Structure 1
Amino acid sequence: MNLFTEIHGLVLAELGRLQAEGKLPEALDFANVAVEPPRDPAHGDMATNAAMVLAKPAGLQPRAIAEDLAARLLEDDRIESADVAGPGFLNLRLSSGMWHAVVRAALQDGDAFGRSAMGAGKKVNVEYVSANPTGPLHVGHTRGAVFGDALASLLDYVGYEVTREYYINDGGAQVDVLARSVYLRYLEAHGQAVAFEDGTYPGDYLIEVGEALKAEVGAAYVDQPEDVWLAEVRSFATDRMMDLIRDDLKSLGVEMDVFFSEKSLYGTGLIEKALKSLEDRGLIYEGVLEPPKGKTPEDWEPREQTLFRSTDYGDDVDRPVKKSDGSWTYFAPDIAYHYDKITRGFDKLIDVFGADHGGYVKRMKAAVGALSDNRVPLDIKLCQLVKLYKNGEPFKMSKRAGTFVTLRDVVDQVGPDVTRFVMLTRKNDAPLDFDFDKVLEQSKDNPVFYVQYANARVNSVLRKAREAGIDVEDATLAKVDLSGLVHEAELAVARKLAEWPRMAELAGRTNEPHRVAFYLYDLASDLHALWNRGNDEPALRFLQEDNPATSQAKIALARSVTVVISSGLGILGVTPAEEMR
């Protein structure tokens, strides 16, 4: 049940009646007519901009349209009042029965309440994390992993067919550096003293990999030239690091559907095929680029390169795909990878990148636009940095990685549920402060605790009701008389519940899972406010002594809150708390 969609449909139907009566022109486009929560709840339950957006094309005053529309809407039993405000906004109040219907729908539909068919089964590829397989995932990867995973769950919730994908960057020079670093640990495992030169990876996490290589090949590579062991050690090390990365992701509750190897693009004709597709469109040419900003003629040498005409698709400059020496640029395999996604039949692509990839956005969108003839949209989400604090001070704690805090460090400190929720308490493109003390604090200022506490409070009520012999099964609660739920604090909870289906669709439409975390905090706040009112007003308490019927009605409202909290936390990848300790 999406109450906002229902009332939006009513508004459109009444506008159609006004057209039939000749009060509105027949050719009007209603696409921009919206029904939303008002900015100020005191103004009503919902507001529509219909009169404002239709006035100019209709050649009428907005208040005149609003007044005619208000009169039509008041004929419907669902509408209690319709008031014209300002130049022509129309504020609506719904009958209390509509809010009772929302509670009933949540109990009847359970997990399905709020789910949507908006995505219509379209195939979406969400690529996230995609860290170089050269070390454990760090705290920045953690944010991208949580964001991407929650976004994938959100899109599934609103009706898309979602594939979670990790792009393994195993085709570049960094995996050669990894192999050389592992070889040093391998020699170390054989008792040799080694020195890690600049550019190698000295982290302790490679000690086990070096020992595993020794167990695998014995002394076969000791004191052998690089051409003997490099390829084999590179493959061995990459596999071991990906095992480590998979385990790190699993500790956070993240599991991928696809791991795509960059290496599979080389020597297979896939890069050539992708670029041929662009060449066939007249988008590949030989040319010389202007010097980059900040470069002077003395430190820049013009060279003819193979270029992609990305400016035809909104980029600032054309981009090289092949260097003057004939080798591929980093951009070429990325083009081929996205070409592969397109040929796999995805209707929409989403890439989750770190903040340092901002300069890559336009060129990648240009490539996908060109390769798909603008049929497949690409949305790139940048995740800003995470700053760690403890006791209000910047915090560093990783010994294993040497230079950064790992994903596993964070999860071991506070657990996966807290980690995931906190990572979604800011929009992805805003910096995030992660304070290890505050995220475990039991207070209203900690959104993780506040939402979980609301869920636990309701579950405590359900346990006490069962002990008192009250039937609080969902099927029973969905049938009880809810007409006694008339207090403003109770209706406020029901109104917030009604926003859930609309909010889930909005978050899915904008690819913004943080909206779910924000909504859950607001819902929990309304539940806690009602609970606290009950401390002063016994009639608002969920359990009414010697009145099972009234208790069931109030518990139905509370239980519907946990239905939505469970769904929302499920999208975020967080387990609802049954009780708080």
Structure 2
Amino acid sequence: MNPFADIRALVLDALNAMTAAGSLPGGLDFAAVAVEPPRDAAHGDMATNAAMVLARPAGMKPRDIAEDLAGRLAADPRVTSAEVAGPGFLNLRLAGDFWRGVVGAALAAGADYGRIPAGQGARINVEFVSANPTGPMHVGHMRGAVFGDALANLLAFAGNEVTREYYVNDGGAQVDVLARSAYERYREAHGFDPQIAEGLYPGDYLIPVGQALKARYGDSLLERPESEWLAQVRDFAAAAMMDMIRDDLALLGVTMDVYSSEKALYGTGRIEAGIARLQEAGLIYEGTLEPPKGKLPDDWEAREQTLFRSTAFGDDVDRPVKKSDGSWTYFAPDIAYHWDKIDRGFDQLINIFGADHGGYVKRLTAVVQALSGGRVPLDIKLVQLVRLFKNGEPFKMSKRAGTFVTLRDVVEQAGRDVTRFHMLTRKNDAALDFDFDKVLEQSKDNPVWYVQYASARIHSVLRRAGEAGLDLSDEALGRADLTGLDHPAQAALIRKLGEWPRTVEIAARAHEPHRIAFYLYELASEWHGFWNRGNDEPALRFVTEGDDPAATAAKIALARAVGVVISAGLGILGVTPATEMR
């Protein structure tokens, strides 16, 4: 059951009936007709914009459409009133039995309440994290990892087939820097002082890599020139870093489906194939770029290069794919990689980048549009920085990492569930403050704790009901007579439950998992408010001595339904629901 979708279907049926009766012209597009909560809850349960969006194409006054529509909707037993407001908005009040059906629907569907059946959506590739394999993951990677994983969970919950993918940037110069850094730790393992020159990676995390190199190669690499050991050490160190990254992701509860290697694109013809695809479309040419805007670099020299005509797709400038010396630019393997994803048959691509990658957005969306002929959309989500605080002061860097705070530092201090939830309390493109004291405090101002406290209270209610001998199976609770759930506080809680399927749809369509965290906080607020009213109104308490068994069963069914939704929402966020608070 999706209450808003059900009532929208009712509105569309009424509009079709108006068309058949001749009170609306034929051929109108109803796609923009929406049913949503009114801005002011005092105005009703739902509102529709049907008259407002159809007035102009119909050549009619909005109120004329709204009044006809109101009369038709009011005839349905689910609608107790349909009132025209302002220029033509239509506010609806719905029958209590209709809303109480939400409780039964949640109990019947269980964890699948609000879920769209698999196969109803698209094949979607979500590429996220994709950190260079040069060290442990830092807090910036952590936010991208949580966001990407939660988005993948959300899209799967909304009926899509989702692939989580990590693109290993192991083809660039930074991996050579890793190799040289690891080699110094290898020398250290043999008793020499490591020469960590400027530009090398200074973190202690490479000490075990140096020791492992010693165990593998003994002293055979010590006297050899760099040209002989660089490739071996690079591959060894990069593999060790990827093992570390996988461990970090596992600590955060993230598992990738696919790891794709940039290095694997070179020498296989795949880069050439991607460029050839663009060349066939007339989008590759030899040309010279204009100098960069602003201050001209001292070493600027106009050179003829092989360029992709990305301006044809809205980019600011055309982008080089090959340098004047004939070598590929960094953009060339990106083209091949995205062509590979398109070739694998995905219907949508989503890339999650750090905020410092904003310059890649236009060129990548341009090339995906060109490669797919506009068939496959690419949505690039930029994740803003995380600012860490402890005791009111900025949290200092990790000695182990050398230059940054690691993901492991944060998770080991705050816990996985707290970390994941808090990373989703802001939209991805807004900066996020992570204060270790605040994310662990027990107060309403801490959304993590507030939602988990609601979950714990629900489990407490169910334990007490079980001790009282009540059958707590969803099947038994689903048979409860819910007509007694007619108190305004109960009705408000049920209406919030009814918003869950709509929230899932909107969040999945917008690629915004933070909406789930916001919804859970609002639902928890309704729950706690209802709980507290029981202190003043004993009839609202869930388990009361001498209470009518049927009334108790109905109240327990409501509590269980709230628990179903909180559990499902936390599951999307990758957070384990609390069964008790310690």
User: What band does the TM-score fall into relative to the shorter chain?
Assistant: over 0.9
Q: Which residue of 1 aligns with 2:185?
A: 185
Deviations 1:31-54 (A, max 9, x none): 110001111111111100000001
Question: Retained in 1: the 8 A contact 2:118–2:161?
Answer: no
Q: Which amino acid aligns with 1:23?
A: S
| Counterpart mapping for 1:177-576 below 5 A | 177-296=177-296, 298-546=298-546, 547-576=548-577
Moved more, 97-106 or 391-400: 391-400
Q: Which amino acid aligns with 1:174?
A: Q
Deviations 1:263-312 (A, max 9, x none): 00001000000000000000000000000112337542100000000011
Q: Which amino acid aligns with 1:161?
A: E
Deviation at 1:392, TM superposition (A): 2.1
Q: Which residue of 1 aligns with 2:47?
A: 47
Alignment partners' CA distance in 2, 1:217 and 1:37:
67
**Match of 1:536, SS?**
coil
**Match of 1:381, SS?**
strand
Alignment partners' CA distance in 1, 2:76 and 2:425:
40
Q: Which residue of 2 aligns with 1:577?
A: 578
Deviation at 1:529, TM superposition (A): 0.6
Taking only the aligned residue pairs, the percentage that are identical comes to: 71
Q: Where does the alignment leave 5 or more consecutive residues of structure 1 unmatched?
A: none
**Match of 1:437, SS?**
helix
Q: Which amino acid aligns with 1:146?
A: V
**Match of 1:456, SS?**
helix
Q: Where does the alignment leave 5 or more consecutive residues of structure 2 unmatched?
A: none
Alignment partners' CA distance in 1, 2:296 and 2:28:
57
Deviation at 1:253, TM superposition (A): 0.3
Question: Retained in 1: the 8 A contact 2:118–2:156?
Answer: no
Alignment partners' CA distance in 2, 1:545 and 1:483:
21
Question: Retained in 2: the 8 A contact 1:118–1:505?
Answer: no
Question: Retained in 1: the 8 A contact 2:121–2:158?
Answer: no
Deviations 1:365-406 (A, max 9, x none): 000000000000000000000000112221115120011100
Q: Which amino acid aligns with 2:158?
A: V
**Match of 1:495, SS?**
helix
Alignment partners' CA distance in 2, 1:121 and 1:13:
24
**Match of 2:220, SS?**
coil
**Match of 1:68, SS?**
helix
Deviation at 1:119, TM superposition (A): 6.4
Q: Which residue of 2 aligns with 1:146?
A: 146
Q: Which amino acid aligns with 2:219?
A: A
Question: Retained in 2: the 8 A contact 1:36–1:47?
Answer: yes
Alignment partners' CA distance in 2, 1:160 and 1:112:
14
Alignment partners' CA distance in 1, 2:459 and 2:435:
29
Question: Retained in 2: the 8 A contact 1:493–1:527?
Answer: yes
Alignment partners' CA distance in 1, 2:98 and 2:522:
20
- Normalised by the length of structure 1, the TM-score is 0.99
- Normalised by the length of structure 2, the TM-score is 0.99
Alignment partners' CA distance in 2, 1:90 and 1:155:
32
Alignment partners' CA distance in 1, 2:322 and 2:555:
68
Deviations 1:322-346 (A, max 9, x none): 0111111110000100000011111
Alignment partners' CA distance in 1, 2:327 and 2:261:
19
| Aligned length, in residue pairs | 581
Q: Which amino acid aligns with 2:200?
A: T
Question: Retained in 1: the 8 A contact 2:314–2:366?
Answer: yes
**Match of 1:535, SS?**
coil
**Match of 2:228, SS?**
helix
Alignment partners' CA distance in 2, 1:531 and 1:66:
39
Question: Retained in 2: the 8 A contact 1:310–1:366?
Answer: yes
Deviation at 1:180, TM superposition (A): 0.4
Alignment partners' CA distance in 2, 1:519 and 1:268:
48
Question: Retained in 2: the 8 A contact 1:544–1:550?
Answer: no
Alignment partners' CA distance in 2, 1:66 and 1:443:
45
Q: Which residue of 1 aligns with 2:20?
A: 20
Alignment partners' CA distance in 2, 1:202 and 1:358:
28
